[in-house]
Amino acid sequence: MHEDVPERLTALLKKFENADDLEMRTMSLLEYADKYRVVPPDVAVRPFQPGHRVHFCESEAYVWAVPRGNGTLDLHFAVENPSGVSAKALAAILSETLSGLTPDQILAVPDDLVQRVFRQNISMGKGMGLLSIVEMVKKLARQHVKSAGPVP
């Protein structure tokens, strides 16, 4: 694993990589989906701005990166499809492991994150949507690096 990958994410990836039992993996993902919290109203309210919508995500997901005063970001998500369990699990994972990190640390998220967490247990369409959530998080982090100011 790349040494720049955030420590909390590395620990989570090891947990999933060591979980060979499909039922245990599924239970872990369901636990993360239960941890999902919708974006707080001080960050965004419905109807959400289209610029925060994740393209290709069947669960109609949205992502926000809110800068803290210390140069780190807090990640917030909305998953509008009540059946979007995988998207909710990924949102909770990303929020838990990446919030409070710098944009550069967030950009170190491995490109194969979705595959490593979900393995082959998802359809191609769902996988593309989940990958798009990760890409949106990185896009917002890049925007913050470029502007060195608040991410809209």
Query: What's the CATH code of the domain at 142?
Result: 3.90.1010.10
Q: What is the DSSP string of 56-67?
A: T-TT-EEEEEEE
Residue 29 lies in a domain: yes
93 part of a folded domain? yes
How much of the chain exceeds pLDDT 90, in percent? 74
| pLDDT at 121 > cutoff 80 | no
| pTM over cut 0.85 | yes
Instruction: For residue range 79-102, list pLDDT tens digits in order.
Output: 999 999 999 999 999 999 999 999
Q: How many domains does the chain have?
A: 1
Confidence at 30, pLDDT banded by 50, 70, 90: very high
Percent of the chain with pLDDT over 70: 94
In a domain, 111, yes or no: yes
| Average pLDDT of the segment spanning 73-83 | 97
Q: What is the mean pLDDT of residues 36-60?
A: 96
Does residue 76 contact residue 66 with C-beta atoms inside 8 Å? yes
Residue 103, domain member (yes or no): yes
Answer whether residue 129 is part of any domain: yes
**152 in any annotated domain:** no
Please give the distance of CA 88 from its chain centroid, rounded to a whole number: 9
Residue predicted with more confidence, 122 or 132: 132
Instruction: Please check the confidence at residue 151 and state whether its pLDDT lies above 80.
Output: no
Determine the structural domain holding residue 14 and report its residue range. Answer: 7-146
Query: What stretches of the chain adopt beta strand conformation (E)?
Result: 61-67, 73-79
Q: pLDDT at residue 2 above 70?
A: no
pLDDT of residue 22: 82
Decide if 1 is inside a domain.
no
Between 22-36, 67-81, 136-150, the lowest mean confidence (pLDDT) is in 136-150
